[in-house]
Copies of this chain bind each other. A is one copy, B any other.
Amino acid sequence: MADVARRAGTSTAVVSYVMNDGPRPVAVATRERVLAAAADLRYRPNRIARALRARRTGVAGLILADASNPYFAALAREIERALADRDTLTLVGNAGHSPARQKRLAERFLAAQVDGLVVVSAEGGADVAAEAEAHGTRAVHVHHRPRTAHGPLVPADNAAAVRAAVDHLRGHGHERIDFLSGPTDAGPVGVRRRAWARATPGTLLRCTYSRADAADLTERLAATDTLPSALVVATDEQAIGVLAGACRAGVAVPGRLAVVSLDGAPDTAYTAPALTVTAQPLTAMADRAVDQLLTGEADDTPLTAPLITRATCGCPDRPRSGSPR
């Protein structure tokens, strides 16, 4: 920067003003000279130095419970996109469902002076929001905020989504509809489970949030002839497992078993058969989370997750002509 200033016959202050288009005006002739000098010297501003002085890095931290889960992965992509739209870089880390790892990530990101932290489906036990607050940094939760944590949350309207799913299956003639939940009733899955219990009779099933477990469970139910005619599944990860298990057991979907999944990430459009889902509005959730992070304005009205009918509910699978995801 000093070199550029020297070559342009001016001061580093002026160089800064032209590189940043402000905050003070620069005479056209001076600006030209600076730009020419910068180009000649291939000058690239050092964002680290800028960050140290300006106390803003232009970097946000994104903490993921588990990017192997296609729903979280899709959400992560949208958040990275939303951040990039606002000229902010994304530091990512997978906590792998471990509170300890989650806490370590938060500490490291905070030490790296991120401008904010977005936490997708935080674990209980490690209060990232509190760490951030102690650091004077904003944090926002997406999808799920542990009961111990404070700070804003960007939620979807999970109860309404479940009601839509149940109503739709009922329209296909199912009177009892089972529900596949996670191992506990924490977070949005609990909301979904309770909304299902209020909406329809049926059996509560549980397994971990993994394809493997959901597939095994489905095979086991098929083997013991205890499969329901219709099943609402708490997460995409499990729904994909259910389809895999049904396929291995020779169970026809949707003929023998109708399925609706409640995350509805884009990947679900290309399962076999194509999953009917309630689709969480990932783009809107990401934009809202990032806006809240950058402006500090809170808005926790739930976002609508519309029903998307595809093949697994029993609707005819409409041929799609080259439709993008």
Contacts and interface: CB of A to CB of B under 8 A. Distances in A.
Interface residues of A, number: 68
A213 B322 contact: yes
Given A68-B77, A73-B73, A44 B111 contact: yes
A93 B91 contact: no
B93 A134 contact: no
B94 A44 contact: no
A272 B48 CA distance: 48
Given A45-B111, A47-B111, A90-B92, 20 more contacts: A42-B134, A44-B110, A46-B111, A48-B48, A48-B52, A58-B112, A59-B91, A67-B76, A89-B112, A90-B91, A212-B322, A215-B320, A216-B321, A240-B270, A241-B270, A243-B270, A243-B272, A244-B272, A244-B274, A248-B311
Interface of A: 42, 44-49, 51-52, 57-59, 67-68, 70, 73-74, 76-77, 80-81, 84, 89-94, 107-113, 134-135, 210-213, 215-216, 219, 240-241, 243-244, 246-248, 266-267, 269-274, 311, 317, 319-325
Which 7 pairs from chain A and chain B are nearest by CB? A247-B272, A211-B270, A244-B270, A47-B111, A48-B113, A243-B272, A272-B272
